[in-house]
Amino acid sequence: MDTNIPRTVPRKSATFDDYTLSEIRRAASTGIYDIRGGGAKRRLPHFDDLLFLGASMSRYPLEGYREKCGTNVVLGTRFAKKPIELKIPITIAGMSFGSLSAQAKEALGRGASIAGTSTTTGDGGMTPEERGQSKTLVYQYLPSRYGMNPDDLRKADAIEVVVGQGAKPGGGGMLLGQKISDRVAQMRCLPKGIDQRSACRHPDWTGPDDLEIKIHELREITNWEKPIFIKVGGARPFYDVALSVKAGADVVVVDGMQGGTAATQEVFIEHVGQPTLACIRPAVAALQELGMHRKVQLIVSGGIRNGADVAKALALGADAVSIGTAALVALGDNDPRWEAEYEKLGSTAGAYDDWHEGRDPAGITTQDPELSKRLDPVLAGRRLANYLKVMTLEAQTIARACGKSHVHNLEPEDLVALTVEAAAMAQVPLAGTSWIPGK
């Protein structure tokens, strides 16, 4: 054989890439689908595909640090006697005690309170630590009704009826047995150590007509004081938002597929639902068509990472955003300081997502008392508050550059898109053109 003949380099398949091959081998070896936490990891059209234009000849900017740029938001002005007012338009998304340690929940409450915003319970009920440290607390009303009771309902500042979430629209939840400590088991009325399934549908209502009656009941029990949120996964945002308004929501939360979960099937996270960017304009269009934009507030979540993302979501018509994954990272999740331990778990800092196993080195997605102790709730709360402050300052910086005295004055006309896909989803022109796909 002539060894001088040039050879092509080994070529791996774009279809059967390394991750795909490893997943096939893992599935063949175990017979179980992959379960993990977090949101969609695949590359998706996102806020990075949008740019702000800034001010120039046709509009003038506001002076940074000198001219005021408001950030407050009032949620629940439609029916609730006591709407909630937040200093910043960034809230903390629902994450359960059970999926998170008590220390992590306390830290979320502390950080949110310092920053002047709200935090949200999760599937599993309200803990005293969380209520005690959260100036404004949203109480989730979920299909499982774990820990649900009228006393906590009345202690809440708002109620969020969870219809779905972006990571798994149409799916329920699963807290695996290894995370079911005595306390978690007691709060959920189930034996210790068994898998706790959260249903995908509510047990006593089906569809928007019933939900309207359910919301009426919740309002009666709480004397019509609390704002009622409805949270939907990013499935059919136009119709879901319209039906939420019909059902009597004060606030609608739309969670795109980058929004995280404590644990579900990888195939669910990556293949069901729509990207956050694709959800906002249909949601806003539904509100506008009903004459309810800004009257029923829209909160958008799923992959919000910085002030630019906040500003872009608001410019597209949201009243506020919500963060979950980013908040956990601010607390200390996936921190490189724990790299040696992530490696022992077969992962690496930045990629660790086996939250359901309860072995989180950072002490956040665990019920292990020793691991949980690693998280100082005061310090972690401070870190979250700092992060929220930075995001707010970034959003204000952009808003001022666009000549806006309040972040809610940002508008789609302030944006262009870098890709045809983003232009179509966000309904803003492709950069350098006046072309909006579909218009």
Nearest to 92 by CA among 398, 261, 409, 324: 324
Per-residue binding letters, 318-347, with another protein (x by CB under 8 A): ------------------------------
The conformation of residue 412, written as its DSSP 8-state character, comes to: G
Per CB under 8 A, 438 contacts another protein: no
Nearest to 405 by CA among 48, 55, 90, 85: 55
| HSE toward the beta carbon, residue 67, CA cutoff 13 A | 15
Nearest to 141 by CA among 116, 166, 121, 169: 121
Q: Which is nearer to another protein, 195 or 289 (CB)?
A: 195
Which residue do the tokens 């991750």 mark? 19
| 33, 265 contact by CB (below 8 A) | yes
Q: Which is nearer to another protein, 263 or 313 (CB)?
A: 263
Contact pick of 96, 144, 244, 261 for another protein (by CB under 8 A): 144
Query: Which of 120-128, 196-204, 267-275, 287-295 is the region at the interface with another protein (rule: CB under 8 A)?
Result: 196-204
Q: Between the CA of residue 59 and those of 54, 56, 410, 413, 432, what are the distances in Å?
A: 9, 6, 13, 12, 18
Contact pick of 61, 70, 177, 437 for another protein (by CB under 8 A): 177
| 67, 207 contact by CB (below 8 A) | no
Does an H or E element contain 341, and which?
helix 339-344
Q: Which is nearer to another protein, 221 or 420 (CB)?
A: 221
Per CB under 8 A, 200 contacts another protein: no
Per CB under 8 A, 223 contacts another protein: yes
Q: What is the C-alpha separation between 68 and 66, in angstroms, rounded? A: 6
Size of the site for another protein (CB under 8 A): 34
Contact pick of 189, 340, 378, 390 for another protein (by CB under 8 A): 189
Contact pick of 78, 82, 87, 145 for another protein (by CB under 8 A): 145
Per CB under 8 A, 224 contacts another protein: yes
Contact pick of 51, 53, 55, 174 for another protein (by CB under 8 A): 174
**Minimum distance, C-beta of residue 393 to another protein, in the bound complex (Å):** 43
Per CB under 8 A, 133 contacts another protein: no
Nearest to 276 by CA among 64, 49, 66: 49
